[in-house]
Copies of this chain bind each other. A is one copy, B any other.
Amino acid sequence: MSDQKIVKTKYYADDEMTEQLAEVSVRETPAWEPDEKLKVVGTEVPRIDGYDKVSGTAHYTFDVNLPQMAHGRVLRCPHPHARIRSIDVSRARKMKGVLDIITHENTERITWRGDTSFLFDPHLRHEGDEVACAVAETTAIAERAARAIEVDYERLPFVTDPAEAMKEGAPKVHDYGNIVERRSQPYSRGDVEQGFAEADVVVEDDFSTRVVVHNPTEPHGSVASWDGDRLTVWDSTQAVYSVRDTLAEKLKIPASHVRVIKKYMGGGFGSKLSCGKHSVMAAIVARRIGRPVKITMDRKEMNLAMGNRPDSVQKLKIGAGRDGKLKAMRMYSHGSVGAYPYGAGCSWPFRTLYQCDNVSVEEYSVHGNTGPACAMRAPGHVPGTFALESLIDDLAEKLGLDPVKLRILNHTDKDQVSGLPYTSKRLIEAYRRGAEAIGWDGRNRTPGSGSGPVKTGLGMASQIWWGGGTPPCGCILKLNSDGSARVLAGTQDIGTGTSTFMAMIVAEVLGIPLEKISVTVGDTAAGPYCVLSGGSLTAPSVSPAVKEAAELMKAKLVSAGAAILELPEGDLTLTGGAVTSRSDGSKTVEVPAIFQQLREQTLVTTGARGANPEGWAINTFGAQFAEVEVDTETGRIRVKKVVAAHDVGLMLNRMTLENQMHGGIIQGVGYALCEQQVVDRNSGRVLNANLHGYKMPTMMDMPEIEVIVVSDADPKISNTGVKGCGEPAHIPTAGAIANAVYNAVGVRVTDLPMTPARVLEALARTSHSPSAAGPDTQ
């Protein structure tokens, strides 16, 4: 029944991209082929939990209120770098309604982020680092109690800029120094010097991007409740199983004794991939006081301490022949990962998006006394693609080539790092259809040649991401005697529509109306283990498991139907809620009648995501085309239209896919034009840790968006042939906008975000010259 094999798969875990070995069962469930005629999958289906959300009946983690529940607030360090000399909680403890206060002095030392720090670390490395947690009858009392804790801080010298931090003698964030060695490994292939020597044309430029923050609608938060020695945690998380395993490890209890539930969720974008300190604190205090405890984050805490995307300084150089073929590519970059280890590297697109034999990369992940970086929607690829695709456009101009044509010239069917062929790649079709939709032929042949102060331009950029999915991912399907079904998996729907596509797949395979299918996800006490929801893994990982369970259920029904109809199984099929003879439909038995005959109440099957094929690279590809208007008098950029043409394998649900594209693009508009966390170099404090000072785009800033899916099922990957689309949607947007701005005004803005001030500054320069990061104004 199952064929065991060991295979290598890439997957995106916690805060890093990892290669892992996985032994999985490879079953013989049929794959959807590119020409498959599907009835439900690929159509437009509103989220099955959409009504709940818009009507307010959906209960989020914040809405979980348990009897006797207490409320916690975290006291955070006000300084960028300090050490606790002493901490006095006596006054706070005496306040009416205060139940407990935990600090490094009265709790076990629990290591955090590997062994680089602790749950409560007296060495505080950034503004917002956790000092203590006060728990009280109400949040307001807890807040007052936290403020009443008297801490004697020894203030330490600090550093916020990575360039400064890399210098000899800079204040050390960690004893080992400010470079995260494991995340600062050079890469090279071929002979880059020789390549540049052979190049006819060379372009180079420096680019910079800023720290941005995830800012999901729903902040982080947990409710912890103990039943004896068993812990239940409601958590706003992208990975119920990861949170379970971290809690079990940190609290030294069996994984089976931790139940993590996430029902509804208002976004994560990577900041909710791993277990938060507040979840562990809630569990610890709940055990101490014998009551459930809720700890939720406010917007300031979200901005200071719940993670962010690193900044980058990228120095790129590319050489090509007169024919446009790339000869050599060199990249230097550094970025601040903040106070704790993470990787700021952004060179992956540089290494692999285009055919080039000679590539070298030197990049550094650098600590600073700022908030910790973590994964954010396509880590590294977003800043990296902005810089790479800007310079590729510069090269096209220097060669006198159409930017799209230059990209097609350097197109490759093989992963440039591993040398493995792609299972599928429809990037050229994405170029063609995207160009057509945006009206590429109508762009300014000479950049900046439009008349008037408000100039229009077109630009584009490409994208590569993984998104092929990975085991382990299991699911359970229960079919009821009334023909309704429930599908369970240990995945979670973080707002992307996971539940909906799960129901759609069951509906497709079993011919059940969608209205009769329910989904249980986000509960470690229910569905089997699934990988985290990040890295665009979810749909390609979960969908094959669901399809397998549904196919096995179909086989079960056909088998039972065959016994009832006294026909060979091969002559029968499941269609319209009945097992029917294939040839003429003359003999038929309805599903409820099968249950009646079996005298069963539910039939159960399980499915598992098989391994990815060996010897192949699995990636998503895409191109986005942007039309912008630049007001050369005010420096204001307006993105008028974005065309997103992507190869994402089989499209499961047009509606949620388009939602993902819209979300990725609008987040890309924010990254390109306005979002940045501003740290005051003098005080080391964040100046805009709120939604007023931190400028996110609103619906008023939304361009018209056209989504084109250029792919269909890739049966080499899995039985569904799905690739992820969450991150791909976000990767090329800033690059496409930057190239469109250049096309509009003939001046390149190399620093994100392209605020009006930076645009005006660039326009003031007569020639196209590299610039360092601009001023911190917006």
A257 contact set on B, CB distance < 8 A: 484, 516, 518
Chain B minimum-CB-distance residue to A22: B599
Contacts of A480 in B (CB 8 A): 254-256
- Residue A520 lies at the interface, judged by CB distance under 8 Å to chain B: yes
Asked if B525 and A57 sit within 8 Å, CB to CB, the answer is no
B525 near A51 with CB under 8 A, answer no
CA of A760 to CA of B610, assembled, Å: 78
Closest residue of chain B to A475, judged by CB? B604
A227 to B50, CA, bound (A): 9
A225 and B523 alpha carbons, distance in the complex (Å): 18
* A217 at interface, CB cutoff 8 A: no
| Contact between A482 and B515, CB atoms less than 8 A apart | no
Q: Which of A585-625 contact B (CB under 8 A)?
A: 597-602, 604, 606
Residue among A48, A65, A227 with the highest chain B CB neighbour number at 10 A: A227
A228 within 8 A of partner (CB): yes
Q: Does A140 contact B (CB under 8 A)?
A: no
The answer on a CB contact under 8 Å between B59 and A472 is: no
In the complex formed, the residue of B with least CB distance to A249 is: B482
**When the two chains form their complex, are residues B484 and A255 in contact, meaning their CB atoms are under 8 A apart?**
yes
Closest beta carbon of chain B to A228's beta carbon, Å: 4
The reply to whether A520 and B526 contact each other, CB–CB distance below 8 Å, is yes
Q: Is the CB of B23 within 8 A of A488?
A: no
| Minimum C-beta distance from A294 to chain B (A) | 13
Interface string of A49-79 (1 = CB under 8 A from B): 1111001011100010111000000000000
A426 at the interface (CB under 8 A from B): no
A457 to B516, CA, bound (A): 63
Distance to closest chain B CB from A66 (angstroms) = 7
Q: Does A529 belong to the interface (CB within 8 Å)?
A: yes
Which residues of B sit under 8 angstroms from A245, Cβ to Cβ?
Answer: 601
Choice from B21, B483, B485, B529 contacting A478 with Cβ under 8 Å: B529
- Minimum CB–CB distance from A490 to chain B (whole Å) comes to 8
Footprint of B on A, CB under 8 Å? 1, 6, 20-23, 48-52, 55, 57-59, 63, 65-67, 225-230, 241, 245, 248, 254-257, 259, 290, 472, 474, 476, 478, 480-486, 488, 490, 515-518, 520, 523-526, 528-529, 597-602, 604, 606
- CB-defined A-B contacts under 8 Å, sample of 25: A23-B600, A51-B229, A55-B228, A57-B290, A59-B67, A65-B65, A230-B518, A248-B484, A254-B483, A254-B484, A255-B480, A255-B484, A256-B485, A256-B517, A259-B518, A259-B520, A472-B601, A474-B602, A488-B526, A520-B525, A523-B525, A525-B526, A526-B526, A529-B602, A606-B606
